[in-house]
Structure 1
Amino acid sequence: MGTVSLILGESGTGKTASLRHLNPKTCLLIQSIQKPLPFPAKDWRPWAAKDPHSSIYVSDLWQPVKMALSRAYDYGKRIAVVDDFQYIMANEFMRRGEEKSYEKFTEIAHHTWDILHHTIHHTPP
């Protein structure tokens, strides 16, 4: 069972910058918005399935994010961080903006919950 931690703070308070203290060889960073890291990050490389030292996966789609979290341990990643998690929800909302039904809000909430629930209950400690 994985441990989920939520780190909240205003923009610019150092949440992403704190990644500088993690080893990219054992950490997977999932970016919901691709952006440069706010520190010298030569060892943080874009994800490549055949490169166990790659450490940055970019997606704002709930299913690929859930899959990346599920498979991180298989690649030697003991820590997984989802940066800007709120954009997974916001971007799905915007992609589905033309839908007229209120059901989309329930589905977006369910997708978000599914990521968290799966991470808590179906990932190694």
Structure 2
Amino acid sequence: MAQIVLILGESGTGKSASLRNFQNGELALVNVGKKPLPFRGTFNSVNSDDFNEISKFVQSVPEKIIVVDDAQYLMAFQYMRRIKENGWDKFNEIQSDFFNLIELAKSLPDDNIVFFLSHIETKDDGRQKIKTIGKMLDEKITIEGMFTVVLKTYVSDGKYYFITQNSGMDTVKSPIGMFPSITIDNDLKYVAEKIRNYYYMDGAKTDEEMKAADEAVKAEVNPAEKKSRRRRKAEVEAEPTADVQAEQPAEVPAVKEEPPVEEEQPKPRRRRRRTESMQSIEVSDEEIPF
């Protein structure tokens, strides 16, 4: 069984450029995207996105290292050509070809290493995975689960790296102790030599020889720490300066309102009724009119 490796990354982050240190005769290239290499050099290659043509090529080449560049285009190009077809059969056939190519790569001889270079997809929740077409490969099969080594490209200060360990938000992984640091130079030839050494494959370099190579590619760049620094810098920039704080009115402490106290109403005074005494008036008969 051959060793298969998945390399993920956005366009322009160093996936194809990672082949630059291979010499002609060391590598066979499946150029699915049918594009020129980003450096001077030639390899035994096939420019095709046809599954049958690619299958014949990878089974017949003498090279022990095979690279499928922009592997996701094996699905995307077929989908675009069949976009006017109705129904779901086209999705099943397209995704089946991609799955079968991975299975074919695994079935190659034990001394082979097959690299799949693919674009990456970022979900709404920020998680990253290989870019696919349709839902079958995502829901039924986790593509990254078919690989033991999954690396991701990373660019910092104009330099290009591979990330070798999972961040919690991606599918990056590598065997324990395989790579010397979280980030390494994006040198796919070194990765192939390291895998061959780690698994005691035919033609592997010795541990002493690999120590020198490890030191050469080891990078003291931690993407997680850099992200934290950016977050802290953003938080500091968001805080108001001392001058701005001085201009802002001081907060007045809230005063706890006491419940209103009902005033005691004065009792109504009792009024004494003034009683007029009836006086009897004596009237003479002469004063009474008739």
Q: TM-score range by the shorter chain?
A: 0.7 to 0.9
Shift of 1:81: 0.2
Q: Deviations over 1:15-43 (max 9, x none)?
A: 101111122202101101221211121xx
Percent identical residues: 37
Question: Residue 57 of structure 2 aligns with which residue?
Answer: 68
SS of the aligned residue for 2:5 comes to coil
**Partner Cα separation in structure 1 for residue 10 and residue 85 of structure 2:** 31
Question: Residue 85 of structure 2 aligns with which residue?
Answer: 99
Question: Residue 109 of structure 2 aligns with which residue?
Answer: 124
Question: Residue 9 of structure 2 aligns with which residue?
Answer: 9
- Superposed, 1:21-100 pairs within 5 Å as 21-41=21-41, 44-45=42-43, 55-72=44-61, 76-100=62-86
TM-score by length of 1: 0.82
Question: Residue 159 of structure 2 aligns with which residue?
Answer: none
1:114 equivalent to 2:103? Answer no
Paired letter, 2:109? P
Q: Deviations over 1:57-109 (max 9, x none)?
A: 1101111112211112xxx2110001011111001111111211111111111
SS of the aligned residue for 2:101 comes to helix
**Partner Cα separation in structure 2 for residue 115 and residue 106 of structure 1:** 14
Question: Residue 49 of structure 1 aligns with which residue?
Answer: none
Structure number, greater radius of gyration: 2
The number of equivalent residue pairs is 110
Paired letter, 1:26? E
Paired letter, 1:36? P
TM-score by length of 2: 0.37
**Partner Cα separation in structure 1 for residue 86 and residue 24 of structure 2:** 42
SS of the aligned residue for 1:82 comes to strand
> Runs of 4 or more off by more than 4 Å in structure 1?
none
Q: CA RMSD in A?
A: 1.2
